[in-house]
Structure 1
């Protein structure tokens, strides 16, 4: 082996007599380009150390880190240029005076979601990352519906636990300032190990608040809604507020429960999200401060693995204004998540929790990944990620699942559909002074 192989940081060794080089090819993509490229390299005893190829909107980029005989550089370059020119490709060959270290693994994934996402947004995000010494390694598009999604793989200068706290806070502040969602998570196997997702129900899995829908039948919707809002902000003890609201339902005919159950509307993207995760081997759960009698049919329809909620007491076909058994409150939600994980044979770092209110704080804090969905400030403060658009599909994008993968699977089993979205007003790019935020 030559002297380039003795660097202790290098795990790939060059064969004797070879010099490291980087060869790049770019141009319009067409069949046969890669085969022709490697055919030329093969004819010149080239050793492959690393390769990366990508295709973007019909444009091909192919790069190879290789070992070659230095005295054959000229003839190799000429052969490549002649061959690749026939395919409409441009070629560069650059010798290296040493072996570069192996390509470092990105430490974090940053997902950007917006409608729209502009160049100004990415400029601001890129500058914030740079301010904290983070390098953007790769960027790829992961969604074009129902909003635009980009995934940035980054390397953080200080990836140790707690080392990125300042950057996370800065990105959270930037989210509020520029109006796009920015989620950051550790990259690697832990990100791909999630296998259980647990949803809050009201205003998360479904669009409304079930107790308010029931209260509307009693003519006390406004009164109950005000108590709900205070509880969700964390201003009231949940159990106390629940009992107060349920008391307002006293005397309602039990048939109202079925009426409300039939009128429930799922949050846009809920079916797609659950269907996609179930395909991937996830277990899915809902834990609700609402009522089991309303959720049972929905849970069966969505094929959820676990369902926990409060139970309304019914006597002689009427609601008594009381709940039966232990109340599903903030602490109980976290306990149920742990119960589901244990039953599934999973560790807590393999769980995802999604919710919107203060009642979900313990659950999101216990999960491996806690996602605040159009949430109250109290929950956003403790969540790992926060999304502020009304589409549950965003959860999939935060997990690194692309729209292309979702749609391909849906086409395969006949569930593919895209609901037309309302047209939005065109958004003009913010003007960024020359030389700023580069």
Structure 2
């Protein structure tokens, strides 16, 4: 009789707590599909992990097919190597990842040109328009408007569920955390302070007095700069890329998602979901902690 495959990977199954909960049937189905070991509960009714063989040894080695089995239940499925799961570096996008909105769109929503700018944002985040050109085009439409719009937009910003837990838990475990955004420093500095990020980087909206000039400071922080910050932080920390987790939702996040040891697409645009295998589509940022093997009892919220 042939030896059973070694359990080199871990499947993590997570339920959207506000809509459903994990059942024994869900857990048994996941275990059977990957020929896994006994499940370990990470959060009762919310998350389990199951040691399993490498995906290429499964009867159907397709993470997309596995994900589809549970999609109708509001469950997310991630499969990670079983070693080095707890990452020592987090690099996160801000808009539609750590916060629940696109902040530039929110600025525009107070001006009557919100729909026009939101459409450019949509096309840029889906990779249909080059990021830098799209940013310049959108910012130009703000020329002559009051800087008070920034404060008004800030009042609409909300952290996504799990953002505080993700950043504070990883920091408490000794990880470095960085917020790296194609948005603006006006927002990243405040979001970083709320969550406890070690550092933040973004673009600068230029103003003359209390009036926006319709221009952005140089150099523009786009996909290449996000990747460069990831590479810098890995080097400064004496780490390997396998020690890093990156998360984001748009095409301008792809460069860093491709190379990070754990690159996770978070409620991402279609072009990102087509390329990045590790995805959170139904649940919250808590899932990025479960993917690292943290139990809910270990989460830090304050």
Shared fold (TM-score greater than 0.5)? yes
Displacement, 1:250? 1.0
Aligned residue for 2:31? 126
With 321-330 and 261-270 compared, the bigger mean Cα shift is at: 261-270
Aligned residue for 2:22? 117
With 104-113 and 268-277 compared, the bigger mean Cα shift is at: 104-113
Q: 2:149 aligns with which of 225, 247, 256?
A: 256
**Cα pair distance change 1:245/1:157, threshold 3 Å:** closer
Residue aligned with 2:204, SS: strand
Aligned residue for 1:148? 46
Write the deviation string for residues 111-131 of structure 1: whole angstroms up to 9, x where unpaired. 0011222344334433432xx
Displacement, 1:177? 5.6
Q: 1:275 aligns with which of 153, 168, 177?
A: 168
Q: Pairwise mapping of residues 289-300 of structure 1 onto structure 2 (< 5 A)?
A: 289-300=182-193
Q: Pairwise mapping of residues 16-35 of structure 1 onto structure 2 (< 5 A)?
A: none
Kindly report the root-mean-square deviation, in angstroms, between the aligned alpha carbons of the 2 structures.
2.5
Aligned residue for 2:7? 106
Equivalenced residues, count: 296
Q: Is the radius of gyration larger for structure 1 or structure 2? A: 1
Displacement, 1:401? 0.3
Unaligned stretches of 5+ in structure 2? none
Q: Pairwise mapping of residues 333-372 of structure 1 onto structure 2 (< 5 A)?
A: 333-372=226-265
Aligned residue for 2:294? 401
Aligned residue for 2:133? 240
**Cα pair distance change 1:316/1:335, threshold 3 Å:** same
Contact 2:55–2:62 (CA<8 Å) still a contact in 1?
Answer: no
Q: Pairwise mapping of residues 39-438 of structure 1 onto structure 2 (< 5 A)?
A: 106-114=7-15, 115-129=20-34, 135-144=35-44, 148-156=46-54, 166-176=61-71, 179-188=74-83, 190-192=84-86, 194-406=87-299, 415=302
Residue aligned with 1:228, SS: helix
Question: What CA distance in whole angstroms lies between the structure 2 residues aligned with 1:281 and 1:165?
Answer: 37
Displacement, 1:272? 1.4
**Cα pair distance change 1:166/1:157, threshold 3 Å:** closer
Write the deviation string for residues 223-248 of structure 1: whole angstroms up to 9, x where unpaired. 11111111111111111111111111
Question: What CA distance in whole angstroms lies between the structure 1 residues aligned with 2:99 and 2:75?
Answer: 23
**Cα pair distance change 1:158/1:271, threshold 3 Å:** closer
Residue aligned with 1:137, SS: coil
**Cα pair distance change 1:385/1:158, threshold 3 Å:** closer
Contact 1:231–1:241 (CA<8 Å) still a contact in 2?
Answer: yes
Displacement, 1:332? 1.9
Unaligned stretches of 5+ in structure 1? 1-100, 130-134, 416-438
Aligned residue for 1:78? none
Residue aligned with 1:166, SS: coil
Residue aligned with 2:38, SS: strand
Residue aligned with 2:275, SS: coil
Question: What CA distance in whole angstroms lies between the structure 2 residues aligned with 1:154 and 1:248?
Answer: 52
Q: Normalising by structure 2, what TM-score?
A: 0.89
Aligned residue for 1:13? none
Question: What CA distance in whole angstroms lies between the structure 1 residues aligned with 2:63 and 2:110?
Answer: 45
Question: What CA distance in whole angstroms lies between the structure 1 residues aligned with 2:274 and 2:68?
Answer: 11
Question: What CA distance in whole angstroms lies between the structure 2 residues aligned with 1:137 and 1:390?
Answer: 24
With 380-389 and 288-297 compared, the bigger mean Cα shift is at: 380-389
